[in-house]
Structure 1
Amino acid sequence: MSFFIEKEVECNFNFDYEKVAEAVVSASLEHENFPYEAEVNLTLTDNEGIHAINKEYRQIDRPTDVLSFPMLSYETPGDFSFLSDENEDDFNPDTGEVMLGDIIISVDKVKEQAVEYGHSEKREFAFLITHSMLHLFGYDHMEADEAAVMEEHQRKILDALGITR
């Protein structure tokens, strides 16, 4: 697995965020039985930075907590059967890894929401990465049944890591 973190802002967390992020990405891949080595990019920004990206790509004029930019298109969430070594566009030519996509997180929102929801910054950070990884696997939460499936996957991944509320 290749996992890259780009910091656009200072990350004054009281935990090793790089270690937590990598553990969550790895646990998510394992939970979903992802059949290939994967590449994931994480950008840590602030409310101003994520606001600009949210406005540009989603036409939503406000900051958000996390944005996901999947590189793959799924017919069924979590079904990787469409991936094939023959489809070179899905693989990084230098590493041979599947390029899953990009995760962008607002450090400001991690801190704000940890207080709002009454749990640790570590838990909020891990939750947002888990949530985004599931989007990179094709899951969504636009409908109640989709949201329930996604929430169950999130809970199982975080529980496996011992990261609870």
Structure 2
Amino acid sequence: MDNEYDLSCEEGVRAPIPDDEIRSDCDLVLREEGVERPCMVSISVVSEGRIRTLNDAWRDVDRATDVISLECERPDDPSLAPGEPCELGDIVLAPAYIARQAADFGTTEADEFRLLLTHGLLHLLGYDHLDEEEAAGMEAREEELLALMPCDAPIDHVVLTRHRGDDEA
């Protein structure tokens, strides 16, 4: 499957993992989720100021966050012609915010970034964590997917509680 990724970094901001790993991690998630249609995903790495502005504009939450996902199409959309690429949507990540959060959760900045990239992509595929059952299912899937990625150290348990009831992602 030939997925397309539009990767961009705001000036002065960098992702804690290389672009080729971002692409391969996304390919892994899409493959493991059984997505057979080619997908297009925009991934932006931005400052806390920029993600705060986006969070306020798109979610009416005037504060910085770790990741925002903006869905466009779903791979199973019946209006897409066979073989037509699916424009999944946009994932916006704030590495400075993620780095602080990594320290709080005892992970590395790179592993926290991988988790939130996976989290954002799962949102584009229809996962959510609005209630306890959904959150538990999303946590479990994130753990399964992270176990397949080249992480710095095993992530024993995905702590999604950072999002529960907090209007994040």
Superposed pair shares fold, TM > 0.5: yes
Deviating more after overlay: 30-39 vs 1-10: 1-10
State the TM-score, normalizing by the size of structure 2: 0.82
Deviation at 1:50, TM superposition (A): 0.3
> Of the candidates 2, 5, 8, which is equivalent to residue 4 of structure 2?
2
Count residues in correspondence. Answer: 151
* Distance (whole Å) between structure 2 residues aligned to residue 17 and residue 117 of structure 1: 22
Q: CA deviation at 1:12?
A: 4.7
Matched, 1:139 2:127: yes
Change (3 A) 1:12 1:59: closer
1:106 pairs with 2:94: yes
Is the alpha carbon distance of 1:28 and 1:156 closer, same or farther for their aligned partners in structure 2, counting shifts above 3 Å?
A: same
The answer (yes or no) to whether the contact 2:13–2:47 under 8 Å persists in 1 is: no
Equivalent position SS for 2:129: coil
Which residue in the other structure is 1:22 paired with?
23
Summarize the Cα distance change of 1:43–1:111 in structure 2 as closer, same or farther, 3 Å threshold.
same
Question: Which consecutive aligned stretches of 4+ in structure 1 deviate over 3 angstroms post-superposition?
Answer: none
Asked if the contact 1:66–1:103 (Cα under 8 Å) also holds between the matched residues in 2, the reply is yes
- In the TM superposition, what are the counterparts of 1:1-165 in structure 2 within 5 Å? 1-12=3-14, 16-72=17-73, 82-84=76-78, 87-88=79-80, 96-163=84-151, 164-165=154-155
Task: Give the alignment's Cα RMSD to 1 decimal.
Answer: 2.0
Aligned to 2:159: none
Aligned CA distance change for structure 1 residues 99 and 116 (closer, same or farther; 3 Å):
same
> Could you list the runs of 5+ residues in structure 2 that have no partner in the other structure?
156-169
1:6 partner amino acid = S
Distance of aligned partners of 1:98 and 1:68 in 2 relative to their CA distance in 1, 3 Å threshold: same
Per-residue CA deviation, residues 17-40 of structure 1 (Å, 9 max, x unaligned), is: 312211221111011000201111
Residue identity over aligned pairs, in percent, reads 26
Does the residue aligned with 1:49 lie in a helix, a strand or coil?
helix
- Offset, 1:10: 2.7
SS at match of 1:127: helix
1:134 is displaced (CA, Å) by 0.5
- Provide structure 1 residue ranges, at least 5 long, that are not aligned to the other structure: 74-79
What SS does the corresponding residue of 2:35 show, helix, strand or coil? coil
